[in-house]
Structures are given as structure tokens and as C-alpha cells.
Amino acid sequence: MVNDVGTRVVRMLRALAAGALVAASVAITVVPPAGALTSVDTEAELRAAFATDAEIVITSDITLTDCDADDVLRTIAGPVTLVGDFFGAGLLSNGDATLSGVTVTGNTIDATVASAVYGGGVAVAGTLVLEGSTVRGNAALSRAPGDALSAGGGIFGNGSATVSGVRFFDNGAAALEGEYAGAVGGALLVTGRLEVQDSDFTANVVGRVGARSAANGSAARSTPPGPRG
């Protein structure tokens, strides 16, 4: 269930057909940095650099293609920090993560097999700090019949989270009906302590896949439910 969220989210994120990194200058920093600064401006250079321990600076617009077949992955022991303008990318962190001044948009986890889905835009297994950012147009969907859970249309955190100066809008979580199926946290779901300051939640929804209307399910601090005995 929640304890193996990393494994489940990795599987679900592979459903993303493509993501785009669009920025004038984006620094993706692994802490502690173990290599030299690497500048990239093509997809091939980004994929090659991401396999190393270097700090990466994106110097032009890059569109990632065929992410379903060929993930861009980095396995690290320390926290991840993203700083800059960051557009159209799904992020998975199996540790702590800090996102500052970023935009996460247009990401969808769309599961067609019975499985829980966590975090349409971002999924973090540890502590999350999100500040001065925008999270819009992301979705966590579970279309398979059965006891599936969709949690956190925009952001899912399996720990505590601090959110400051963030706008959440037009995010959603939805699942087919089932005895234990459901959707929680249209914009944001964390399982630990949640602190929100100076942030805005607009037009975020939770509901049933295929439903014509849904409730505004913005932020939640909850432990995702499992099967009942």
C-alpha cells in the first residue's frame, strides 16, 4: 500500500507518453553534488547527463519523447532540489524533495489495470517543500474496475509537506467505482503533517472516472485507505 508507493508510482509514471522541459535556465541539483556542472540543450544530452551525478543546467527548450519506452531516471541517495522554470514534467522522488519557482503542468497517470495511483504531477516518498510555484492541469486516474485508489491529482507526498505561495488549479483525481475504490486530494494529498501558507486552490476536483461532475477536492492530509477486514 503506502509503504511501497515508490514502486507503484514508478510503474504508473511510465504511462506518461511524453513530458516537456521548457526553460531558459533550469538547474536540477542532486544534493550533495558529486560531479561537475553539465549544460545540456538536446534530449540526447539530457538523457546522458541524467545518468551521471552531475548538476544539470538546461539551456534551451527540450521535449522528451517516448518516455513510456525509455524513462529518464536517476537513482540517488540524497534529496533532490529543482530550481527555476520547470514545465510539463512528472517528478518522482523516493526521498525528500524541494521545488521552488517551478510549474508542473499537463501530466497524467492513467491506469487501465487495477492499481493505486499516486500524484499525477509529482510524487514524493519523503518530506516535500513546495514554494512559489504553480501546479495546474494534472490528473491521477484509475480506469480499471475493482478496488483502486487515486490519490493526489497534482501532488502526492508520503510524509510531511510545507506549501507556500503555490497556486493549484484544474487538477483532479478520479477512479471507477468499487467497494474500496475512491479518489482523494484533487490537488494535493499528503500522509503526514501538512502546512499551507499564502496558497490558492481553484477548480480542483475528485470524482468517478466518466462522471459529469465532481466535488472540489483541493488539499487533504490523510492515510490512503486499504481493504477493510
42 and 49 Cβ atoms separated by less than 8 Å = no
Beta bridge partners, 62, equal 21
Mean pLDDT value of segment 194-221: 67
Q: If you ran DSSP here, which 8-state letter would residue 100 be given?
A: E
Cα–Cα distance between 38 and 118 in angstroms, integer?
31
Q: In terms of C-beta density within 10 A (0-12 exposed, 13-18 middle, 19 or more buried), how is residue 200 classed? A: exposed
Cα–Cα distance between 72 and 74 in angstroms, integer?
7
Beta bridge partners, 206, equal 173, 215
The pLDDT value recorded for residue 164 is 94
**209: which 3 cell numbers?**
472516472
pTM of the entire structure?
A: 0.62
- Look at residue 211 and tell me whether its pLDDT is greater than 70: no
Question: What are the backbone angles phi and psi of residue 6, rounded to the nearest 5°?
Answer: -60, -45
- Which of 41, 38, 42 lies closest to 59 in space, CA to CA? 41
49 and 59 Cβ atoms separated by less than 8 Å = no
Within 13 Å of residue 133, how many CA atoms lie on the same side as its CB?
A: 28
**68: which 3 cell numbers?**
513510456
Cα–Cα distance between 121 and 188 in angstroms, integer?
10
Per-residue pLDDT reduced to its tens digit, 11-51: 333 333 233 333 323 333 333 344 457 777 887 887 787 76
Beta bridge partners, 79, equal none
The pLDDT value recorded for residue 206 is 86
Cα–Cα distance between 27 and 85 in angstroms, integer?
9
Element holding 58 (H helix, E strand): strand 55-58
Confidence of residue 131 (pLDDT cuts 50, 70, 90): very high
Cα–Cα distance between 51 and 40 in angstroms, integer?
13
56 and 50 Cβ atoms separated by less than 8 Å = yes
**138: which 3 cell numbers?**
494534472
Confidence of residue 119 (pLDDT cuts 50, 70, 90): confident
Q: Strand, helix or coil at 226? A: coil
